[in-house]
Every structure is written in structure tokens, then in C-alpha cells.
Amino acid sequence: MRLLALGVAIGLFVGAPAYAQDTEAASGAEISGADLTSKQKMEFALETVDQLDTAKTQVLQMIEDAQKNKDVILLNCLNERLGLLKGLHKVAVDAKDGLAEAIARENVDLEEHNFRKAYIARDQGVTVAAEAEACIGQVGTSFPGKTRVIPKYDGPGEADSDFGAAAGGNTRPPDASPLD
């Protein structure tokens, strides 16, 4: 399952820098597709939609595995990431459609705007896919239904019959102030 999630993250990284500045440069500078042709922008948008769809499918597979293992914590984490990926996928599809319309109208500003939307959706998709992989690592130490706590009393005398109760059976803590 970890290899699957890693594949999602790596798959989303491949190809992005070929179309625009790398992620470090894009975070500090404006994203621009000015040096790209309309065809290259459209190819980028189509690849983005495909990659986000693949990421959604792979997270759904991880969710299915978590359901089989009855791992509620992992399931909650993955469901949250799936919702984010669905939203990013919708943004990418809308950007692709808007890009096609802008190309048909020969509207360079709208074309650039939709390219940026697709680029940001891909960039955020990489982050969310990595977070989905991190969900597995975060909860990898939890074993629902298998954890057992055994209290052990190491003090003088016998342990109380009611766990947490005082020797006289009173569960009220002592007064904090003598002025009560």
C-alpha cells in the first residue's frame, strides 16, 4: 500500500517542471506559461486531469484496504484527503475546459489564467497525495481492537478494588484549599 501511495506522489511530480517553473521557483514567483504554446498548455491540463484521477483511484484503493482492516483512524485520514483530491480534480477539469474555450476564442489572458489553475491543481495534488501516504505512516502503529491496557499497582499495600478510587471508595479528589 505504501508503494502505491509513493507511486501517486512520484507520478504527479513527473512532467510538471517541463511545463512551468519548478515548485521552488513557482512558490516564490508567479506561475507563467507564456513561453508555452496553446497545444502544450492543453497537454499539461489533460495530463493534470489524468494524474489527479489516478491519485483519486489510488486513494480509493487505500480506503478500501483500510475498511478491510477496520482501521478507523486511517480511514478518516484517507477520506479527508480523498475529498481534497476530488475538489482539485474538479478544479483541473474546469481549468481544462476553460483552457479549451480560451484557445478557441484566442483569448491569451484567459488561456494563461486557466493554465495557472491547472498548474496549481497539480501542485496541490502532489501535496495531498503525499499527505495520503503520510496517513499510512501516522497510523501504522495503531492496531484497532488489539490494544489492551493492564493497570499495574506498584505502591505499598493493596491496590484499590475500584480503579482510580480512593482507599475509602470515594472518587472525589481531595480539596484544593483548606478553606472550604
Q: What is the pTM of this model?
A: 0.62
Average pLDDT, the chain: 76
Task: Report the sign of the C-alpha dihedral through residues 94, 99, 101, 102, in that order.
Answer: positive
Q: What does the pLDDT read at residue 106?
A: 92
The reply to whether 178 falls in a domain is: no
Residue 176, pLDDT score: 77
Q: What local confidence, expressed as pLDDT, does residue 30 receive?
A: 74
In a domain, 49, yes or no: yes
More confident residue, 31 or 71: 71
Contact 123, 131 (CB under 8 A): no
Instruction: Indicate whether 162 belongs to any domain.
Output: no
Which residues contact residue 145 at a Cβ distance below 8 angstroms, ignoring those fewer than 6 apart?
70
Domain assignment of residue 179, yes or no = no
* 10 domain-assigned: yes
The average pLDDT across 65-92 equals: 92
Quick check: 102 pLDDT over 90? yes
Residue 145 lies in a domain: no
Residue 150 has pLDDT above 60, yes or no: yes
Number of domains in the chain: 1
Beta-strand ranges (E) seen in 61-176 are none
Please report whether residue 124 resides in a domain. yes
Rounded to 5°, angle at Cα 90 from 87 and 93: 155
Domain annotation covers residue 52? yes
Provide the domain limits for residue 61.
2-138
pLDDT digits 0-9 by tens, 27-69 = 445 777 778 888 999 999 999 999 999 999 999 999 999 899 8
Which pLDDT value is given to residue 137?
72
pLDDT at position 161 is: 55
